[in-house]
Structures are given as C-alpha cells and as structure tokens.
Homo-oligomer: A and B are copies of this chain.
Amino acid sequence: MRIAIDAMGGDHAPSLIVQGALEAALEWPAVHLILVGDKARIETHLGSKRPSNIEILHAEDVIGPDDEPVKAVRRKKNSSMVMAGQLVREGKAEAMLSAGNTGALMTTGLLVVGRMEGIERPALVTMLPTMDDKGVLALDLGANMDAKPEHLLQYAIMGSIYRSKMNGMDKPRVGLLNVGTEAMKGNELTKAAYELLETAPIHFIGNVEARDVLVRNCDVLICDGFAGNIMLKAMEGTAGTLFKTMRDVFTSSLLSKLAAAIVQPKLRALRNKMDYKEHGGAPLLGVNGLVVKCHGSSDVKAVKNAVRQAKLAIESNLISSIAAEISRK
C-alpha cells in the first residue's frame, strides 16, 4: 500500500507533516509513504530515524496558499502537490494527502488525478461533529458551487458507499439539506434532487434541516457546495463565538473562575467535539484515486489520522466500490 504525502502544504509544513508521516510509518510498517517535496528540508526533519517504509520524492516547487488554483496546477508541474497527484494518476500511489491550498488540491484531483468515469462533479466530503460522536458525513461542502440535481444524486451514492465502507454502516440514512422537512420544500435544485433521490439505490430519508444536524438526524447529508459551505461556517462561527463569550463569562470574577475550574474539563471536551477540524481529513470523492484534504493547520496527530483514514479507505476498496456503483447506473 503506497500513500503519497505533499510534505510542503499546510501551515506547519514541512516539519509537522514529516513528523506525522514518521509516526504513521512506524505504527504501520505495511504502509509505504512517499514524501513529496524539498528533499533537503524533508531530510532535516526526518533526521537519522528514517524507517525503510518512507521514501522521498524531490519536488522543486510549491503551490502556496494564495496561488490561483487552476493557474498554479497548470503551471507548477514540479510542485509537491501536483507531483503527488501524478503518482496517483500513474498508479504509483493509491492515495495522496495534502494540507495545502484547498482549491489547488481540488484542481489537482480533477486535472491531474482525473475525474472518475461517469462522475460529473467530484465532491468535498467532511465529517461534521455530532453530539453522539458518530458524525454526519456531509457532501459537497465546497468543491462544486453550482450543483445540478444529478450531481446531488451522485453525492448521495458516493456518501452512502463511504459510510458503509469506512464506518461499517449497513443502511446509512441519507438526508437532503433543505429549508424544511416536507417533500416539496426548497429551491428548484432540491425539489428536483428530491425526486431523483427517492428512486436511487440508497436509504433516502427525505429533507433534513440544518438545525438538526448536530443531533445526527441522518448519516449522510447531501447539499450543494455553496449552501453546504455556508452551513459549515455558520456552525463553526456560532460555536466559536459562544465558546469565546463563555470564556469571558468564566474569567469575569474570582467566583466565576472557581466555577470554571469545576466544569472546565467537560466544556473543553465539548469544544473539541465541536471542532470539525479534529475529525480527520476531507476526501475529494469522484476522482480516480483517493485524494484527501487535511486541514491547513494540521499537526502531527492530524497527519497520522489522515494516513489511518487513507489506509482504511484503501483496505476497504472505497474508490473501486464507488466506481463500480457509478458505472452500474
């Protein structure tokens, strides 16, 4: 099993990316990791501890966070991200991970790794946190800004297979993000998608509202990339603002600091639970291989988690299962 890692992407690249890869390589000796990036810098961070299942592929160039995605992917053929994508395209790696520029990684998935046959638009998949810790798999959260009903149908099929393969769910409940639960609610897109989802080979439970996601009213949440991204950021912003305001409440007096000391461990656990960045990488589904976006602020633990996730996806034949189901239609 071979996984390519863009060692130069992300806020803490290459240091924490390389350290995360190192820990993963030591834990899973059967996983062969290819670190793509500046050889000298990667070697510095690897030090003398380099295990035999870590390989370095030198890349001259780097795609930065402010690079215009399509232009960067087209022009920077020797960047660590594009070269990692090339390894997947050529079958030299089964997966690639990157904590770099999200738009550029989606473009790499589309243009370098290549779109899966039968898929119109790949989708960016994120596990939203829920109170019961099982999460809601939401897609698309930003790869495709102008989705058509057929795209949403394909998301539903890909998301269902993901939950079955990755989480062992038997009949994952698929919900359509909408402004109300009644069948005919919504805009033209969701109304048309609802009809397609009703006849799809999935367990469609109908429309779901954004206010119920945290209590896991479905296992797979289907949405267009625009509305999905708005939902994600509204949840993130509300949780962030509330926790910040609570911190102010708890530090406002000596007595409140005492109160804080009592409940702090549980509140901290709640805050961590709400942090979707903690919940692993976001795969781009619908391309010819596994492409996983790690959060830009990924640290050692996040990189190791992303490798674990990729390993599980490869072992469970996630991508070939999706390809088989999509071609069956």
Q: Which residues of A contact B (CB under 8 A)?
A: 131, 142, 145-146, 177, 179, 186-188, 190, 209-215, 223, 225-227, 229-242, 245-246, 249-250, 252, 255-256, 258-260, 262-263, 266-267, 270, 274
Main secondary structure of the interface of A (DSSP, over half): helix
CA distance A167 to B179 in the complex (A): 29
Which residue of B has the minimal Cβ distance to A223? B230
Tell me, rounded to whole Å, the shortest Cβ–Cβ distance linking A289 to chain B: 26
17 pairs of residues in contact across A and B, judged by CB atoms under 8 Å: A142-B179, A179-B225, A179-B230, A179-B233, A186-B226, A187-B226, A190-B226, A210-B230, A214-B238, A230-B230, A231-B234, A232-B234, A234-B234, A246-B267, A249-B267, A256-B263, A256-B266
Contacts of A239 in B (CB 8 A): 238, 242
CB distance from A218 to the nearest CB of B (A): 13
Question: What is the CB-to-nearest-CB distance from A179 to chain B, in angstroms, rounded to a whole number?
Answer: 4
Contact B238 A234 (CB under 8 A): yes
CB of A245 within 8 A of CB of B270, answer yes
Give A145's nearest chain B residue, CB to CB: B187
CA distance A258 to B256 in the complex (A): 10
Q: Do A210 and B187 touch across chains, with their CB atoms under 8 A apart?
A: no
Report B-chain residues with C-beta under 8 Å of the C-beta of A246. Answer: 267, 270
CB distance from A69 to the nearest CB of B (A): 11
Listed residue (A209, A255, A263) with the most chain B CB atoms within 10 angstroms of its CB: A263
Contact yes or no, B258 A237, CB < 8 A: no
Q: Is the beta-carbon distance between A237 and B263 smaller than 8 angstroms?
A: no
Residue of B nearest to A184 (CB): B68
Q: Which residues on the B side are within 8 Å of A237 (C-beta)?
A: 209-214, 235
